[in-house]
Amino acid sequence: MNSDSNAKAYWSATLGLLTKVLVIWFLVSYGAGILFAPLLNGITLGGYPLGFWFAQQGSIYVFIALIFWYARKMSQIDRRFDVHED
């Protein structure tokens, strides 16, 4: 694989991962906190409606997990394309 096609494949993989992260971010923040809140509010978690919980605290937990997941997946992509740092 030449350098130009390797760079394109690397950026394609990176943008694919970024797209997944942004979709998850959107679904959790806007979806669970606003769009699906009336549906989720029928379920309670810790005495609070689930839609409210996602809007106030659940999204933060998901975002922290998303940061670690992104870092792990990006490290795998870097190693696959041999652009990692040791």
Question: Residues 24-79: pLDDT tens digits?
Answer: 999 988 888 889 889 989 999 889 898 888 888 888 999 999 999 999 999 999 99
Q: What is the pLDDT of residue 22?
A: 96
Range of the domain at 64: 3-80
Number of domain units in the chain: 1
Domain annotation covers residue 85: no
Distances (CA, A) of 17 to 14, 54, 63, 70, 75: 5, 23, 15, 8, 11
Domain annotation covers residue 76: yes
The model's pTM is 0.81
Residues 38/51, Cβ–Cβ less than 8 Å: yes
Domain annotation covers residue 28: yes
Structure tokens given for 85: 């740092």
Summarised one tens digit per residue, pLDDT across range 71-84 is 999 999 999 999 88
Domain annotation covers residue 32: yes
Domain annotation covers residue 86: no
